[in-house]
Structure 1
């Protein structure tokens, strides 16, 4: 592993996101508290993507993933989901359509070598049932959409590439099968597979036929399967946010995915704590929580009181290393005198003035329009 990535891993470990297990018998990476919170947000974005999909929830825990890439169409799980599509969602039982489900493995021999997750892996699976004569067309469209999706959440979109799948044996390659991986590259030495896409023909079986959405004619569709290994993909995005080449030690996480979207800090003018300033901080904490913004809670009361500029700078440094996009700064004189406060950006490290009456709508619009 390159020195640059090693430094990123150490920084992410010290911030409580992930931990390298290279010094154990099982090399790889595991997520820590903040990393798990980030993974949860990535999972939520996957759930909200393509909202018209049928979602079958989570399937029972699986001990291992022994199937090769294209054999899923012969599994009991796949046949069960196809049957449920027809029985429980007749309005969506047509071609094209798509279904989602999640599953976990206690062990997965994945494509990411030292970036493999060392504990249970969550797979986010989407199956696209498409017209057989338009299979390749849909496959290329899904490739493009998926790559753009990953680039959108990246601090360095150029690191993502579509890479042809390296078939290990001819037995893997079924009739008319296609496969690619979407990979995140970290220099010339390391890359992480964030999504696997496969185009597979279904068995010639009437059980798998669907009516064409336009003509009603019964078709044997092709299926495009997308598989995202959540924890390794989370590690890739975290490394992406750390490996940005800037002088600052900020973690440039996407605003939507950041586990904590905003923090609150106040600076006192005197040694004695102002009850009015504390009340205002508590009020702003309640306002932002009520707006369902994810707050960065360094202190039990939900905000940080700094006695001087040095303490305030330390707070900003800690927030930046946790990837918090914004910090609301309350100056005792301004905030209590005219209701003005500063909104500091992690990315620019600049602040803009905002009035208390404009919160939380101003922040919500920032995240909504991202």
Structure 2
């Protein structure tokens, strides 16, 4: 048992070394592997977060990175939506820049802004100064995952990492960017620095996923939030080989791999070719258009996150259309087309979860 400072909440961290026998029956894992499912599985990106009052209470006065490094807090936050909604999978509570912080990069997550890097990467020397990640850098991740596996029982845990391009953008821009101008300038104008940086980040991401799976995660998702800023040609030449390296190492772990980006309707094919078992689709692309692009792979998605603000019958009607479209894929995992919006009503997500899990067509 551990009491998190400042919260007054005592949290249990239960450890286990053996996979729970009920994981074999997981609808989420079956869908991710392209196997028949008892129902369409559902979980939500950012299901653990600001839309939950219990999350806001627990996070009072506690910074984001501090929260991510506290195993007992990570266990509780990750479990909150599982308890509330009964979703088919838990997503590990963390942040894509956490591995950078763990190896010593001077960064912070500023409320209302996002990750901010004190000294952006500009040169080969800057890249070489970033240490490679080892399990010893993130013992709190191992502890949190082990605790979660014990709490979750037959509900699978999804580990995750930021994809090389998106993480590189934060390092080069120094923070969030809409144009990614400095990032693209390096990619096109300093290919030696770019390749070294992407190779470095790919290694960090792959190790981060390996740590999570070694501790008990049952699947992984690689988030490439900013990949939609690229043309297919530039993605294939400058990004895909590095994402493929991460996914190849994840594939050696024997767990399903999900690859997701935002605004990637023109990249779904190559994102699948990079090594994904399941390709995440945002809300802008109908599944009927996405499925032929990804080939013999599953799809995940893709309800517009704003539809949870619509009347329930409107939301569920659209969800039914998505479930029906997903039947044409090798496997389909229901999700939103992006993360849960902070002002979302949790009760509406509960209704959506129940609808998806009980839908028969």
Q: Which bin holds the TM-score, normalised by the shorter protein?
A: under 0.3
Greater helix share, 1 or 2? 2
TM-score, length basis structure 1: 0.24
Higher relative contact order (CA 8 A, sep 6+): 2
Greater strand share, 1 or 2? 1
Larger radius of gyration: 1
